[in-house]
Chain A
Amino acid sequence: MFDSLQIEIIKEVINIGVGKSAEVLNTMIQSHILLEVPEVKIIKYGEYNDFIDYFEDDNYAVITLPFNGDLNGFSKLIMSSDHAAKLVDAFIGKSGVNMDMDSLRIDILSEIGNVIINAVMGTLSNMLNLHLDYIVPSYEQGARDIIIPEEMIKNESAILFAKTQFKIEEFEAQGNFAVFFRVKSFNSLVEKIQIYFDKNFS
């Protein structure tokens, strides 16, 4: 599907995107936030079960940004509920706020997720010259089966999976970034990457 060079290009794009989101997040909180992309993987339809096994916690908070246009799919920021709570703590402080207040947590996590996803998707579309239309992001929480959208399974799609690490001084939150593409989109993505490569490296 992708050769190693193309994977490297995707890695770089994600890296730049995540870096941009870190810049934004740093202006939003007092603590210094560090985001890393240690790993980018392409997961094929047949590997979905292995992919889902990677998520071992009971509960997850998932922020989804659906997109269409040159590519069709969903971007998702996936965090275990524990890590999501830590991340929210970093933004509003620990004192006086009960993390069980879903409404508050959803609002803040939606925004944090939005910053990260926007930076990555914005970078992806800018660098690869993709025209994407977005639908308003949504927030979900529940068991790990909410991670893969049912629609994706039906359409035998692939996942571009980036494991992202947040480090916020005393708070340590960890999250995962994943982009689900429909198979058709993959071909467009490969094409766009090839154009980007030809333009910049050959």
Chain B
Amino acid sequence: MPLLIDKNLYYTLDFLPEGYFIIDNDYKVIYWNKSLELLTGVEKEKILNTKLEDTFQNFGKEIYKKRIDPIFKGGPPVVFSAKLHKNLFSQGKKQSEFYYQVTISSLRITEEKHNALFSVENKSEVYSQINELINLREEALNEIDEKEKIHTKLIGQHTEIQNAFSILTEKNLQIEKQKQQLLELNATKDKFFSILAHDLINPFSALMGYSSLLVEKFETYTSGDIKQMIEIMNFTINQTYDLLQNLLQWSQAQSGKIENKPVKVDLNEIAVNNIKLLKNNILEKNIEIENSIPENIVVYVDYNMINTVFRNLISNAIKFTQKGGSINIVHEQQTGDSELKDKFVIISVNDTGVGISKENIEKLFRIEESITTIGTNNERGTGLGLMLCKEFVEITGGKIWVESEVGKGSKFFIKIPLCTD
């Protein structure tokens, strides 16, 4: 049904708040309502009977014509959204400040002829609110961004501080370690001088005293006196020799000159040899000594080192066991991890001697705290022996420890690697 276009329609459209205009198929403006004058600032008199694109150049563009043209053939209404076509009503180079939502409908004039009715709705207020919201959102996002940057920077600084702290802690540990090494070095030096000052001077004083007496007053002594003096001298010489041997080995170990040359060593043999060597001391104190190490327990260690360890442990046991006491050298049965059992052997030297207090046990193997105790027969010691034992056992990859009770005796354990060939 053709729409009736007459002055009444124009009159009605003039009083509607939306903008309305009509163009013919040549894009010539044939109607322009009052609201449009306010919306676009273009007066009716100036635009009527002119081409729409003469005022609003965008309507001359192909992309718009392509969509508007079907209207003149009765095609369906066309919608231009305010957001996507903000500049549809721009004049010249001046950009539109307004947002217009445009709907174009076909007006049938005759059977074949159609005009286009444009409805223009000002959506600027809505869009200014939308834009305001978008700006606010952007501001908020920027603020969040800024905060995140600060946060990231703080995390970075925190990490740097943590790293610096780790380096400092590491350095402190190194300093602490160096301090400990210095303490040990100092203790080693003190020990060395102490041995030179006392342990070595004293026996020589005794030897010099007795030998002087013999040289000067030999004729005045009975043969019994002379024998007694020579026995004391012999005893002192043996002890001093032991001390010198230990001292030599210890100084070599300290200066790193001692070489670890592992060979196969039969532990039973080592024990038997050392018992033989210390036979006089054992006999003198009437000590019963038993070697329970089975034959063919073969370890893979430096011969001199393991020999020094056995000598010192047996000699210490003799030194701190009263007359008539007993010493037992035992091959310990191991429990637990079978793999470890196949790799190591544990030997203990047990005595029924004076024992060691708990307090002193802790100091036994530490050079900076070493203690010296006089034996039950006034034997002198330097405390050097056990330190040597510890040093040598550890070089072999083994371990040394002690169990003891005052008045009941001591058990010194060594754990050393078995020969696995």
Contact = CB atoms under 8 A, between A and B. Distances in A.
Given A24-B66, A108-B84, A114 B133 contact: no
Contact of B78 (A67, A114, A125, A131): A114
B123 interface: yes
B137 A98 contact: yes
A108 B101 CA distance: 10
A117 interface: yes
Given A101-B130, A107-B83, A122-B70, A137 B77 contact: yes
Contact of B79 (A27, A111, A125): A111
A136 B103 contact: yes
Contacts of B137: 96, 98
Nearest to A111: B81
A91 B80 CA distance: 13
The majority secondary structure among interface residues of chain A is helix
B79 A110 contact: yes
Interface in A158-201: none
A6 to B, nearest CB: 23
Contacts of B78: 114, 118
A19 to B, nearest CB: 14
Contacts of A118: 67, 70, 75-78
Interface residues of B, number: 30
Contacts of B66: 24, 27
Contact of A133 (B1, B79, B130): B1
A123 to B, nearest CB: 10
A136 B123 contact: no
A98 B84 contact: no
A101 B103 CA distance: 21
Contacts of A115: 67
B138 interface: yes
A137 B74 contact: no
Contact of A96 (B63, B76, B80, B134): B134
Interface of A: 24, 27-28, 65, 67, 91-92, 96-98, 101, 103-104, 107-108, 110-111, 114-115, 117-118, 121-122, 125, 131-137
8 contacts: A98-B137, A101-B130, A103-B123, A103-B126, A104-B83, A108-B84, A111-B80, A111-B81
